[in-house]
Amino acid sequence: MTVRIVAIPAGLSEPSTTRMLADRIGEATRKRLGDATVEIVNLREFAHDIPPKHFVQGGAPADANLTGFASPRLQHVLDDVMAADGLIAVSPIFKASYTGLFKSFFDVLEADVLIGKSVIVAASGGTGRHSLAVDFAMRPLFA
Protein backbone atom coordinates (compact mmCIF):
# COMPACT_ATOMS: atom_id res chain seq x y z
CA MET A 1 0.00 0.00 0.00
CA THR A 2 1.40 3.38 -1.01
CA VAL A 3 1.55 6.01 1.71
CA ARG A 4 0.20 9.40 0.59
CA ILE A 5 1.87 12.48 2.03
CA VAL A 6 0.84 16.07 1.30
CA ALA A 7 3.42 18.80 1.93
CA ILE A 8 2.04 22.28 2.56
CA PRO A 9 4.69 25.02 2.29
CA ALA A 10 3.33 28.48 3.11
CA GLY A 11 6.20 30.53 1.72
CA LEU A 12 5.17 33.88 0.33
CA SER A 13 8.08 34.61 -1.99
CA GLU A 14 9.15 33.03 -5.27
CA PRO A 15 11.57 31.31 -5.09
CA SER A 16 10.89 30.28 -1.53
CA THR A 17 13.26 28.82 1.03
CA THR A 18 10.17 27.44 2.76
CA ARG A 19 9.26 25.54 -0.41
CA MET A 20 12.83 24.26 -0.69
CA LEU A 21 12.62 23.01 2.91
CA ALA A 22 9.30 21.27 2.18
CA ASP A 23 10.84 19.64 -0.91
CA ARG A 24 13.79 18.33 1.11
CA ILE A 25 11.64 17.01 3.94
CA GLY A 26 9.29 15.43 1.41
CA GLU A 27 12.14 13.68 -0.40
CA ALA A 28 13.67 12.44 2.87
CA THR A 29 10.25 11.17 3.99
CA ARG A 30 9.67 9.42 0.67
CA LYS A 31 13.07 7.71 0.86
CA ARG A 32 12.55 6.71 4.50
CA LEU A 33 9.09 5.23 3.90
CA GLY A 34 9.98 3.59 0.60
CA ASP A 35 6.55 3.09 -0.92
CA ALA A 36 5.28 6.66 -0.58
CA THR A 37 4.16 9.56 -2.73
CA VAL A 38 4.63 13.18 -1.70
CA GLU A 39 2.48 15.89 -3.26
CA ILE A 40 3.63 19.48 -2.74
CA VAL A 41 0.86 22.09 -2.46
CA ASN A 42 2.34 25.58 -2.51
CA LEU A 43 -0.14 27.73 -0.53
CA ARG A 44 1.08 30.88 -2.28
CA GLU A 45 -0.78 29.68 -5.39
CA PHE A 46 -4.05 29.52 -3.41
CA ALA A 47 -3.77 32.78 -1.45
CA HIS A 48 -6.88 34.32 -3.09
CA ASP A 49 -8.90 31.14 -2.46
CA ILE A 50 -8.12 30.92 1.27
CA PRO A 51 -10.35 33.13 3.44
CA PRO A 52 -8.52 35.15 6.07
CA LYS A 53 -9.57 34.63 9.67
CA HIS A 54 -10.07 38.36 10.16
CA PHE A 55 -10.27 41.18 7.64
CA VAL A 56 -7.82 44.03 7.84
CA GLN A 57 -9.68 47.32 7.59
CA GLY A 58 -9.57 48.40 3.98
CA GLY A 59 -8.32 44.97 2.85
CA ALA A 60 -9.97 42.99 0.08
CA PRO A 61 -11.82 39.83 1.12
CA ALA A 62 -10.60 36.48 -0.18
CA ASP A 63 -12.74 34.70 -2.77
CA ALA A 64 -14.11 32.04 -0.37
CA ASN A 65 -15.57 34.73 1.88
CA LEU A 66 -17.61 36.09 -1.01
CA THR A 67 -19.22 32.77 -1.87
CA GLY A 68 -19.18 30.97 1.47
CA PHE A 69 -17.67 27.89 -0.20
CA ALA A 70 -14.17 26.81 -1.08
CA SER A 71 -13.32 27.31 -4.73
CA PRO A 72 -12.98 24.11 -6.77
CA ARG A 73 -9.18 24.63 -6.75
CA LEU A 74 -9.07 24.94 -2.97
CA GLN A 75 -11.58 22.13 -2.46
CA HIS A 76 -9.27 19.83 -4.41
CA VAL A 77 -6.43 20.66 -1.99
CA LEU A 78 -8.70 20.14 1.04
CA ASP A 79 -9.77 16.76 -0.36
CA ASP A 80 -6.11 15.79 -0.89
CA VAL A 81 -5.29 16.67 2.73
CA MET A 82 -8.30 14.68 3.97
CA ALA A 83 -7.26 11.63 1.91
CA ALA A 84 -3.56 11.81 2.85
CA ASP A 85 -1.96 9.49 5.36
CA GLY A 86 0.37 12.22 6.56
CA LEU A 87 1.15 15.90 6.28
CA ILE A 88 4.27 18.05 6.11
CA ALA A 89 3.41 21.58 7.26
CA VAL A 90 6.08 24.24 6.67
CA SER A 91 5.83 28.00 7.29
CA PRO A 92 8.25 30.86 7.27
CA ILE A 93 8.47 32.58 10.63
CA PHE A 94 7.46 36.23 10.80
CA LYS A 95 7.33 38.05 14.13
CA ALA A 96 7.86 34.82 16.11
CA SER A 97 4.99 32.90 14.49
CA TYR A 98 3.71 31.28 11.29
CA THR A 99 2.24 33.33 8.45
CA GLY A 100 -1.40 34.36 8.27
CA LEU A 101 -1.76 32.35 5.06
CA PHE A 102 -0.57 29.21 6.90
CA LYS A 103 -3.04 29.76 9.77
CA SER A 104 -5.93 30.63 7.46
CA PHE A 105 -5.42 27.43 5.46
CA PHE A 106 -5.54 25.25 8.55
CA ASP A 107 -8.58 27.19 9.80
CA VAL A 108 -10.41 26.17 6.61
CA LEU A 109 -9.91 22.45 7.33
CA GLU A 110 -12.67 20.73 9.26
CA ALA A 111 -11.75 20.26 12.92
CA ASP A 112 -11.29 16.46 12.89
CA VAL A 113 -9.46 16.10 9.55
CA LEU A 114 -6.00 15.76 11.08
CA ILE A 115 -6.93 13.31 13.84
CA GLY A 116 -4.86 10.17 13.37
CA LYS A 117 -2.61 11.69 10.70
CA SER A 118 1.12 11.93 11.13
CA VAL A 119 2.26 15.54 10.82
CA ILE A 120 5.79 16.85 10.36
CA VAL A 121 6.02 20.51 11.37
CA ALA A 122 8.90 22.65 10.14
CA ALA A 123 9.78 26.30 9.74
CA SER A 124 12.21 28.51 7.89
CA GLY A 125 13.52 31.61 9.62
CA GLY A 126 16.23 34.21 9.61
CA THR A 127 17.95 33.19 12.85
CA GLY A 128 18.20 30.20 15.17
CA ARG A 129 15.79 31.92 17.54
CA HIS A 130 13.02 31.38 15.02
CA SER A 131 13.20 27.65 15.78
CA LEU A 132 11.30 28.34 19.03
CA ALA A 133 8.20 29.15 16.94
CA VAL A 134 7.86 25.46 16.01
CA ASP A 135 7.22 24.51 19.64
CA PHE A 136 5.41 27.62 20.84
CA ALA A 137 3.28 28.55 17.81
CA MET A 138 3.05 25.70 15.31
CA ARG A 139 2.83 22.61 17.52
CA PRO A 140 -0.22 23.89 19.48
CA LEU A 141 -2.02 24.49 16.18
CA PHE A 142 -1.85 20.75 15.47
CA ALA A 143 -2.37 19.45 19.03
Going along 15-128, which residue ranges are E strands? Answer: 36-40, 86-92, 118-124
Contact 11, 42 (CB under 8 A): yes
Q: Assess whether pLDDT exceeds 80 at residue 39.
A: yes
pLDDT in tens, 118-127: 999 999 987 7
Domains of the chain: 3-142 (3.40.50.360)
Check whether 17 has a pLDDT greater than 90: yes
Long-range contacts (CB closer than 8 Å, 24 or more residues apart) made by 105-108 = 105/8, 105/10, 105/43, 105/46, 105/50, 106/141, 107/53, 108/50, 108/51, 108/64, 108/70, 108/74, 108/78
Average pLDDT over residues 39-44: 95
> pTM for this one?
0.85
Q: Confidence band (pLDDT; 50, 70, 90) for 57? A: very low
pLDDT (0 to 100) of residue 64: 52
Tell me the range of 4-18, 47-61, 121-135 where mean pLDDT is highest. 4-18
Beta bridge partners of 8: 89
Q: How confident is the model at residue 102 (pLDDT cuts 50, 70, 90)?
A: very high
Task: Write the burial class of residue 135 (CB in 10 Å: 0-12 exposed, 13-18 middle, 19+ buried).
Answer: exposed
Between 111 and 83, the more confident residue is 83
* Average predicted confidence (pLDDT) for the chain: 85
- Containing 23, the helix (H) or strand (E) segment is helix 17-33
Beta strand 118-124 pairing with 86-92: parallel
Does residue 35 carry a pLDDT above 90? no
- Hey, which of 19-23, 44-48, 123-127 has the most confident mean pLDDT? 19-23
From CA 125, how far away is CA 93, in angstroms rounded? 5
Q: What is the pLDDT of residue 67?
A: 56
Q: How many CB atoms lie within 10 A of CB 10?
A: 30
What does the alpha-carbon distance between residue 56 and residue 141 come to, in Å, rounded to a whole number?
22
